[in-house]
Amino acid sequence: MAKSTRSPESARADRGDQADIQAVSRVSQILSLFDPATPRVSTGLVAERLGLNRTTAYRYCTSLVAAGLLERDPDGGYVPGGLLLQLGAFAIGHRRVVSLAPRHMRALARATQNSAVLSLWGLTGPVVSRVEENASAIVVVSVRVGSHLPLDTAQSKVFLAYHADQLSMERLMANLPGPARDELRDDIERVRSLGHCSAMSTPGVVALAAPVFDEYGICASLAIVGPDNTLSMSDDAPELRVIADIARELTHELGGHYLPDDAGRRAV
């Protein structure tokens, strides 16, 4: 029987490569813990979620702090660091929709007298990527850029309705309690039939949203937000026609196909 000719040095190098790959995987798992419900993590949380002992979890977190991927908060936990935010902003800045959207968003804000919001899909939900406020309004409702939107918001429902990976969307919804999950599924079907979504984002604030598509599918959600005493959630609200028209224009500029038009043709 032939014997292995691998040297001890080669075996040690292979073990080192495997350790490096495992370390990269651990870093990815730690960073993936951040979501709308988990804006900060602790050593204990990292250890519990990833099945590590606390010493190992602490070592990883302190190394990520040194690399700029995490930062310590005043309570001793960890939040996304400057390098991570810089890379995120750089990646978003290279999305073509973010470059083309501002002109359309300014027109939307002017036409509806409300703030226009563009969101891109993150790991577990939409992330607000750009906001255009209506400067002429006395009361301005806005959203902070970088905000992670929960699944019950209008922009999330638009993504859930049109996202290409519906299996992943179902996995996200599986974490919700039964009644909330059933209600969300009904809302998603309604989005597919109407092509837009209206929702109360927070008490007293209404959001109307429509999808934006590029050649690969849905790439963003476009919304307006405003006070509930001036912005209606009715299906015949004039603002819905405006936002749909502008989302369609942006879609065509991106070389995409505006899927809600298909639903409209089927309904005729």
Q: Please give the pLDDT value at position 15.
A: 54
Amino acid at 201: S
Mean pLDDT of 159-165: 94
pLDDT of 266 over the 60 cut? no
SS3 content of the chain, % helix, strand, coil (to 5): 50, 20, 30
* Secondary element (H or E) of residue 193: helix 178-194
Q: Please give the pLDDT value at position 78.
A: 94
Please check whether residue 208 is in contact with residue 235, taking contact to mean a CB–CB distance below 8 angstroms. Answer: no
What is the Cα–Cα distance from 185 to 102, expressed in whole angstroms? 31
List where CATH 3.30.450.40 sits in the chain: 95-261
CATH number of the domain located at residue range(s) 22-87 in this protein = 1.10.10.10
Residues 6 or more apart whose Cβ sits within 8 Å of residue 237 = 198, 208, 231
pLDDT band at 4 (very low <50, low <70, confident <90, very high): low
pLDDT band at 147 (very low <50, low <70, confident <90, very high): confident
What is the Cα–Cα distance from 93 to 239, expressed in whole angstroms? 28
Mean pLDDT of 212-227: 93
pLDDT band at 3 (very low <50, low <70, confident <90, very high): low
Mean pLDDT of 53-70: 93
Q: In this structure, which topology does domain 95-261 adopt according to CATH?
A: Beta-Lactamase (3.30.450)
Q: How far is CA 189 from the centre of its chain?
A: 20
pTM for the predicted model, two decimal places: 0.69
